[in-house]
C-alpha cells in the first residue's frame, strides 16, 4: 500500500451548513475543544461548590448545618473525582489538546474528526451519568475518590446502592470517550504534522499533551478493568475484591477476594493520572514562559527528555500511595527509590523554567503572572512530595492533612494556575479579543495568594497529625483548640478564593463582546498556532495552503533578527540564522556569572 501523506491530501472536511451542525454536532476540533472545555469547567464549578460546603463544615462545625456526615463524604468523593477526571483530564486533553494539537502541528483538523466529535458526546454522557447520581435514591457514592472496596459497596457508606454503580458506569463511559480522543491526539501528532515539522520542532505543549495522552491510554485500562470487576462484585456477587466480611452484624455472601488487588490496579492508573494532568501543564507553562520572557525555552531537549522520563517512571511508582495499605512492606524500598528518582527530571524542569527567565526580557502580561505563580506553587508542592515519597516519612504523614495540602498544591493549585495562564494566553486567538487586564490581574492576586493562604497552613495540621476525611475532629488529646481556629481561617480563605473565580467568568464573557480587538498575534509568538490566516482560525485552519515549518518554535530574540521573534513558518532566507552569528553558549560571556 503506497502511503499518501495525510496533510497533503485535500482532507475531506465535514463542512457544516446549519448552526446546529456548526456548533452542536461539530467536527471542527476548535468547537469540540470549546465544548469539552465548557463542560469540564461547568462540572469543575460543581466540584468547587462541594469543596466550599466541606470547608464550611470543617471551619465552622455546627454553624451552618449545610451538610450532614453522609453528604460530607459524598462531597469528598465527588469533589475529588470530578476535579481529577472530569475537570483536569478533560480540560487539558479534551480542551487544550483538541484546540492546540492541530494548530501547533499545522494540520487542518484531527485525523479522525468524526471520532473526535463522538469522543465529546460520550464524555458528556459520562458527565450526565455522574451528575444523575445526585438525584438517585441514596445519592452519589461517599466511598472517597479512590472507591476502595469493600467499603464502596457496603451499607455503611453513602450511595452504596445506586451511587457507586453510577460512578463505575460513568468512569467506564469516560474511558471510552478518552480512548477515542486519545487515539486521535496521538495519531494526529504522529502522522499529521505539516512539512518541516519534525518531532523536535514541536512546542513543548504538544509534547506534554502527547506523552500525557499516551500515559492515559496505558493507564486508564487499569481503571477500566478494576471498575468492571468492582461492578461485577457489586451487582453479580462475585468476589474479585470482596473478602469474607460482615455488614451490620450479618455475614455477606463474599469470600476470599483481595481489597489490596484493587488498590494496586487503582493506583497503577492513579499515579500516571497525576502526570496525565501535570505533563500538559508543564508543556503549556513552558510555552507561556518562553513567549512572555521573549526568550527560547531553556534546555528544550532536556525538557522533552524529562517529559518522557517522567512519563515512563510514573508507571513504576504507584505503590507509594499504598505504603500503609498492608501490602508487603518490602515493596517500600523499591517504590521509595523510584519515587525519589522522579524528583530529578522534575527538578530539572523547574530549573529550566527559572533559567528561561534568566536574562530574558520579561513582559509581565497576565499569563506570565499565572505562569510564575505556577512555578512557585509547583516548587512547594513538589518538595512536599519528597516527604511523602520517602516511605518512613509517609508513615506519620499519610492520611493526614499534609497529604491533602500536598496534592492540592501540586495537582490542584498548580495545574489550575496553568489552566488560567493558558486560557488568558490563548484567549485572544480563540475569541479574537483581549481579556480585561485589570480584572484578570485581580483574579490572579486573589487566586494565587488565596490558595497559598489555604494550603500552606494546612500542611501544619498534617504535621500535627490531624486526620483527613473527618467530618468533625471531635475531642482528642493531641489536637489543640488553636487547630480549629486555623481551620476557620483556611475556610475563610477558601470562600474568598471561590468567590474570586467570578472575576474570571465575568472577564471571559464580558471580553467576548467588549474586549479590544486582539489581532492575529498579540504576544509576538513564534509558534504555529499564532500564524493562522484568520483569527479566530476558520474551519480548516490554514486557508488554501498548509504552512511549511522552517525552524523550531522558540526563535525569540535571535541575534540580528528584525524583530524579537521569528515565526516557525518564516523561511531561513528571510531571517538570519543563529549559525551565521557563530553562536556558542559555552563561550557566551553572559553565562560567566552563573
Partner 1 sequence: MTLSVVIFLLVIGSVIFHFASPWWFTDIAADWGPIDFTINVTFWVTGFVFIAINLFLAYCIYKFRQKEGHKAVYEPENTKLEVILAAVTTVGVVLMLAPGLFVWATIVTVPDDATEFEVMGQQWQWAYRYPGADGVLGIAETALVTESNPYGINEEDPNGQDDIIVMGPEMHLPVGRPVKALLRSNDTLHNYTVPQFRVKMDLVPGLISYIWFEPTETGRYDILCEELCGIGHFVMRGAVVIDTQDDFDSWLAAQPTFAETQALAAPSVAAGQAQFALCATCHGAQGEGNQALNGPKLAGQQAWYIERQLKYFKTGVRGGEGDSGGQAMAPMARTLANDDAIRNMAAYIATLPDNAAQTTVSGDIENGEDIYSRNCAACHLEDGSGTWYTDAPTLAGMSDWYFVTQVNNFKSGIRGLHADDYYGEQMVGMAAAMSGLEEIEDVATYINSLR
Partner 2 sequence: MSLFKRITEKPWETKGVIGGLNPEGSFDAAPEKVALVIFLVVASVIFSMLTVSYYVRMELPDWTPLSDPAQLWLNTGLLVVSSILFQWARNLVSNGQGKYLMAALVGAGVFAVLFIAGQLVAWNSLQSAGYFVASNPANSFFYLLTGLHALHLLGGLWVWSKSLIRLLSLGEPQDVRLSIALCTLYWHFLLIVWLVMFAILSNT
Regarding 162 and contact with partner 1 (CB under 8 A), the answer is: no
Residue from the set 7, 34, 88, 440 that interacts with partner 2 by CB under 8 A: 7
Name which of 551, 541, 557 is nearest 574 in CA terms: 551
Residue from the set 301, 513, 582, 587 that interacts with partner 2 by CB under 8 A: 301
Residue from the set 475, 513, 545, 592 that interacts with partner 1 by CB under 8 A: 475
Residue from the set 200, 344, 395, 502 that interacts with partner 2 by CB under 8 A: 200
Phi, psi dihedrals of residue 35, rounded to the nearest 5°: -60, -45
> Segment 236-275, which members bind partner 2 (CB under 8 A)?
236-240, 253, 255-258, 261, 264-265, 268
CB of 3 to partner 2, least distance (A): 5
In the block, which residue shows the cell 460482615? 246
Q: Considering beta carbons, is residue 24 or 235 the nearer one to partner 2?
A: 235
Encode 521-547 in three state secondary structure. CCCCCCCHHHHCCCCCCCCCCCCCCCC
Name which of 503, 396, 411, 504 is nearest 455 in CA terms: 411
Regarding 577 and contact with partner 2 (CB under 8 A), the answer is: yes
CB of 337 to partner 1, least distance (A): 7
135 binds, among partner 1, partner 2, none (CB under 5 to 8 A by kind): none
Name which of 565, 551, 581 is nearest 201 in CA terms: 551
Residue from the set 296, 338, 511, 535 that interacts with partner 2 by CB under 8 A: 296
CB of 167 to partner 1, least distance (A): 15
> Segment 169-198, which members bind partner 1 (CB under 8 A)?
none
Give the separation between CA 585 and CA 591, rounded to whole angstroms.
8
Grid coordinates of 250? 450479618
List Cα–Cα distances, 594 to 58, 301, 359, 589, in angstroms.
Answer: 48, 20, 11, 10
Q: Considering beta carbons, is residue 21 or 255 the nearer one to partner 2?
A: 255
Q: Considering beta carbons, is residue 148 or 424 the nearer one to partner 1?
A: 148
Judged by CB under 8 A, the number of residues near partner 2 is 70
Judged by CB under 8 A, the number of residues near partner 1 is 130
Give the separation between CA 262 and CA 242, rounded to whole angstroms.
10
Residue from the set 123, 530, 554, 565 that interacts with partner 2 by CB under 8 A: 554
Q: Are 341 and 385 in contact (CB under 8 A)?
A: no
- Which part of the chain contacts partner 1 (CB under 8 A), choosing from 123-131, 217-225, 341-349, 502-510? 341-349
Grid coordinates of 77? 468523593
> Segment 534-553, which members bind partner 2 (CB under 8 A)?
546, 548-552
Regarding 460 and contact with partner 1 (CB under 8 A), the answer is: yes
Name which of 372, 368, 376, 498 is nearest 446 in CA terms: 498
Q: Are 348 and 544 in contact (CB under 8 A)?
A: no
546 binds, among partner 1, partner 2, none (CB under 5 to 8 A by kind): partner 2
CB of 209 to partner 1, least distance (A): 22
Give the separation between CA 285 and CA 282, rounded to whole angstroms.
5
201 binds, among partner 1, partner 2, none (CB under 5 to 8 A by kind): partner 2
> Segment 43-62, which members bind partner 1 (CB under 8 A)?
61-62
Give the separation between CA 500 and CA 495, rounded to whole angstroms.
9
List Cα–Cα distances, 517 to 154, 364, 434, 474, 567, in angstroms.
Answer: 57, 20, 6, 56, 21
Q: Considering beta carbons, is residue 128 or 200 the nearer one to partner 2?
A: 200
Grid coordinates of 138? 441514596
- 306: left (phi > 0), else alpha (psi -120 to 50), else beta? alpha
Residue from the set 225, 386, 442, 492 that interacts with partner 1 by CB under 8 A: 386
CB of 579 to partner 2, least distance (A): 7
Binding to partner 2 by CB under 8 A, coded x per residue (else -) over 493-512, reads: --------------------
List Cα–Cα distances, 557 to 86, 294, 527, 564, 575, in angstroms.
Answer: 39, 6, 14, 4, 12
Q: Are 558 and 550 in contact (CB under 8 A)?
A: no
Residue from the set 89, 157, 447, 535 that interacts with partner 1 by CB under 8 A: 157
Give the separation between CA 267 and CA 84, rounded to whole angstroms.
13
In the block, which residue shows the cell 504523614? 397
Q: Considering beta carbons, is residue 228 or 473 the nearer one to partner 2?
A: 228
Q: Considering beta carbons, is residue 293 or 497 the nearer one to partner 2?
A: 293
Binding site for partner 2 (CB under 8 A): 1, 3-8, 106, 111-112, 179, 183-184, 186-188, 190-201, 217-218, 221-222, 224-225, 228-229, 232, 236-240, 253, 255-258, 261, 264-265, 268, 296, 300-301, 304-305, 308, 546, 548-552, 554-555, 571-572, 577-579
Amino acid at each position: 500500500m503506497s502511503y499518501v501523506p495525510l496533510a497533503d491530501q485535500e482532507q475531506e472536511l465535514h463542512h457544516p451548513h446549519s448552526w446546529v451542525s456548526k456548533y452542536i454536532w461539530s467536527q471542527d476540533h476548535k468547537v469540540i475543544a470549546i465544548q469539552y472545555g465548557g463542560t469540564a469547567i461547568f462540572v469543575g464549578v460543581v466540584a468547587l461548590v462541594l469543596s466550599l460546603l466541606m470547608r464550611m463544615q470543617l471551619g465552622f462545625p455546627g454553624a451552618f448545618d449545610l451538610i450532614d456526615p453522609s453528604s460530607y463524604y459524598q462531597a469528598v468523593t465527588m469533589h475529588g473525582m470530578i476535579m481529577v477526571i472530569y475537570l483536569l483530564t478533560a480540560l487539558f486533553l479534551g480542551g487544550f489538546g483538541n484546540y492546540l494539537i492541530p494548530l501547533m502541528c499545522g494540520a487542518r483538523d484531527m485525523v479522525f474528526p468524526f471520532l473526535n466529535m463522538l469522543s465529546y458526546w460520550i464524555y458528556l454522557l459520562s458527565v450526565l451519568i455522574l451528575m444523575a447520581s445526585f438525584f438517585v435514591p441514596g445519592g452519589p457514592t461517599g466511598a472517597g475518590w479512590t472507591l476502595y472496596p469493600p467499603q464502596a459497596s457496603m451499607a455503611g457508606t453513602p450511595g452504596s446502592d445506586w451511587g457507586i454503580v453510577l460512578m463505575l458506569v460513568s468512569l467506564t463511559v469516560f474511558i471510552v470517550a478518552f480512548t477515542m480522543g486519545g487515539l486521535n491526539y496521538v495519531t494526529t501528532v504522529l502522522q499529521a504534522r505539516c512539512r518541516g515539522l519534525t518531532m523536535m520542532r514541536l512546542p513543548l505543549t504538544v509534547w506534554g499533551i502527547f506523552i500525557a495522552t499516551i500515559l492515559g491510554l496505558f493507564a486508564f485500562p487499569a481503571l477500566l478493568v478494576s471498575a468492571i470487576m468492582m461492578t461485577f462484585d457489586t451487582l453479580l456477587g462475585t468476589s474479585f475484591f470482596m473478602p469474607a466480611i460482615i455488614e451490620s452484624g450479618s455475614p455477606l455472601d463474599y469470600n476470599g477476594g483481595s481489597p489490596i488487588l484493587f488498590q494496586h490496579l487503582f493506583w497503577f492508573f492513579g499515579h500516571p493520572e497525576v502526570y496525565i494532568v501535570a505533563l500538559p501543564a508543564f508543556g503549556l507553562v513552558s510555552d507561556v514562559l518562553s513567549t512572555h520572557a521573549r526568550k527560547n525555552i531553556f534546555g528544550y531537549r532536556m525538557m522533552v527528555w524529562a517529559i518522557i522520563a517522567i512519563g515512563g517512571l510514573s508507571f513504576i511508582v504507584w505503590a507509594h500511595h499504598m505504603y500503609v495499605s498492608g501490602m508487603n512492606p518490602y515493596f517500600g524500598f523499591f517504590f521509595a527509590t523510584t519515587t525519589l528518582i522522579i524528583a530529578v527530571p522534575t527538578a530539572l524542569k523547574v530549573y529550566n523554567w527559572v533559567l528561561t527567565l534568566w536574562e530574558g526580557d520579561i513582559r509581565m502580561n497576565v499569563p506570565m503572572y499565572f505562569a510564575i505563580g505556577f512555578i512557585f506553587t509547583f516548587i512547594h508542592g513538589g518538595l512536599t512530595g519528597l516527604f511523602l515519597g520517602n516511605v518512613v516519612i509517609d508513615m506519620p504523614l499519610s492520611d493526614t492533612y499534609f497529604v491533602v495540602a500536598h496534592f492540592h498544591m501540586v495537582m490542584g493549585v498548580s495545574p489550575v494556575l496553568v489552566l488560567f495562564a493558558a486560557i488568558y494566553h490563548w484567549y485572544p486567538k480563540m475569541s479574537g479579543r483581549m481579556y480585561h487586564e485589570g480584572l484578570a490581574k485581580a483574579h490572579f492576586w486573589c487566586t494565587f495568594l488565596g490558595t497559598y493562604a489555604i494550603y500552606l497552613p494546612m500542611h501544619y495540621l498534617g504535621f500535627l497529625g490531624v486526620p483527613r476525611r473527618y467530618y468533625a475532629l471531635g475531642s482528642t488529646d493531641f489536637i489543640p483548640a488553636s487547630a480549629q481556629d486555623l481551620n476557620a481561617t483556611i475556610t475563610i480563605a477558601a470562600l474568598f478564593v471561590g468567590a474570586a473565580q467570578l472575576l474570571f467568568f465575568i472577564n471571559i464573557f464580558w471580553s467576548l463582546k467588549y474586549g479590544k480587538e486582539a489581532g492575529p498575534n498579540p504576544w509576538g509568538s513564534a509558534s504555529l498556532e499564532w500564524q493562522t490566516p484568520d483569527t479566530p482560525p476558520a474551519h480548516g485552519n490554514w486557508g488554501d495552503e498548509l504552512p511549511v515549518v522552517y525552524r523550531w518554535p522558540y526563535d525569540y530574540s535571535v541575534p540580528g533578527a528584525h524583530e524579537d521573534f521569528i515565526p516557525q513558518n518564516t523561511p531561513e532566507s528571510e531571517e538570519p540564522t543563529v549559525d551565521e552569528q557563530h553562536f556558542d553558549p559555552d563561550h557566551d560571556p553572559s553565562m560567566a556569572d552563573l
